[in-house]
Amino acid sequence: MKRAGTVVRGTVLVDGELVDGPVVWEDDTISSIGGTAGGERGLVIDAQGCLVLPGLVDLHGDAFERCLMPRPGVRLDASLAVQENTGHLVASGITTAFVSVTDSFEPGLRSRETLREIAMQLRSQRDASAIDQRLHVRHEVCHTADHGELLDWIADGTLHLLSINDHAPGSTPDAHRIRPSAVMLGRCGLSEADADRMLLDAADRRAHGLEQVAELVRCAHHSGTPVGSHDPATEADLERDRALAMDFAEFPMSLALAERYRAAAIDVVLGAPNVVRGGSHLGGLRAAAAVEQNAVDVLCSDYHYPSMVQAPFLLPCPLPEAWGLVAGAAARVARLDDRGVLAAGLRADLVVVEPRTGDVPARVRAVVSGGRIATWTN
């Protein structure tokens, strides 16, 4: 046996209920939950006063960009960025992270070149990583170069999750997508005139880009890779996504549209920071209201990892149900049937959390990923 461990004296989330009892794992698999004391194996974590919950599964997390570029225009090496980012993920209780890298026509931070560097680092640091990290490619419709490379990545398993983004002019009437923003200028290092030209050139490629997207989505379906759309805003977007048989929709812009997506059996993903902050930073729907209306399937970290562990404690529903949004449902959408809930025979991915009390946020005390202790503080 390579490793074994036991969490004792915690309140454990099993089968949608909070129960007492130890959780025991051997190697990377949970061997038992509950039962009498005295059956401890290996390393023993005392979780008194804490909840023992399934590890978080994050479908969309792009906060790693701040590890790669801590200040606008200031780039660090991808190897260091991936290593630093792993620390942030672990501290946030995330045991399965879909590192969400934008594949854009922009130079710099969101370019294909940077995406290649991140993909390579995720692969080379995989064995050393304390948690399971996968690649979510956020492909921009109007980025048409090197299309074959993406098809190859889907086929060879480099890419684990695909979303189709369109932030070029003409995708929506939103003014912020028509002119280059200050944030964009900072991250890609272009003058305003050059960025303007880049955006207009990109928009000219949309028709070709949409043909490529159809092929990418077909390829994703063929290989069993989950694929979804990003920021859908209109009924026309829903019709397009139905025709493409999308698996999920990230951040639909209104409650009514989120409900329509769910009715069409397309899973709705919203951001946990939206719950923590009390609303969308882009003027979209309120995630907590969407949960109340049963219009959301999954909450992801979006741009802020620590929000994932906090959001379930702030939602107007029982914790077991709320935790399902950040673990079980996310694992289902990702087609990872070996995790997302705690049960004998499943992957030993769990997080020991001191629950939120009053204004004091919940605190991650220990994280176990694949049976390995990723972090543990008393």
Least separation in angstroms between CB 104 and Fe ion:
11
Nearer to Fe ion, 176 or 335 (CB): 176
Least separation in angstroms between CB 111 and Fe ion:
17
Nearer to Fe ion, 303 or 376 (CB): 303
Nearer to Fe ion, 237 or 349 (CB): 237
Nearer to Fe ion, 252 or 371 (CB): 252
Nearer to Fe ion, 159 or 253 (CB): 253
The full 3-state SS of the chain, as one line of letters, equals CCCEEEEECCEEEECCEEEECCEEEECCEEEEECCCCCCCCCEEEECCCCEEEECEEEEEECCCHHHHCCECCECCCHHHHHHHHHHHHHHCCEEEEEEEEEECCCCHHHCHHHHHHHHHHHHHCCCCCCCEEEEEEEEECCCCCCHHHHHHHHHHCCCCEEEEECCCCCCCCCHHHCCCCHHHHHHHCCCHHHHHHHHHHHHHCHHHHHHHHHHHHHHHHHHCCCEEEECCCCHHHHHHHHHCCCCEEECCCCHHHHHHHHHCCCEEEEEHHHHHHCCCCCCCCCHHHHHHCCCCCEEECECCCCHHHHHHHHCCCCHHHHHHHHCHHHHHHCCCCCCCCCCCCCECCEEEEECCECCECCEEEEEEECCEEEEECC
Least separation in angstroms between CB 32 and Fe ion:
43
Nearer to Fe ion, 231 or 247 (CB): 231
In the bound complex, which residue of the shown chain has the CB atom lying closest to Fe ion? 231
Least separation in angstroms between CB 167 and Fe ion:
6
Largest CA distance in the chain: 70
Least separation in angstroms between CB 80 and Fe ion:
27
Least separation in angstroms between CB 86 and Fe ion:
25
Are the beta carbons of 354 and 365 closer than 8 angstroms?
yes
Nearer to Fe ion, 58 or 231 (CB): 231
Nearer to Fe ion, 14 or 141 (CB): 141
Least separation in angstroms between CB 194 and Fe ion:
22
Least separation in angstroms between CB 36 and Fe ion:
51
Q: Is the dihedral of CA 195, 209, 173, 115 positive or negative?
A: negative
Contact set with Fe ion (CB under 5 A): 231
Nearer to Fe ion, 117 or 231 (CB): 231
Q: What would the two tokens of residue 57 be? A: 């599964």
Integer Cα distance of 127 and 143 in angstroms = 32
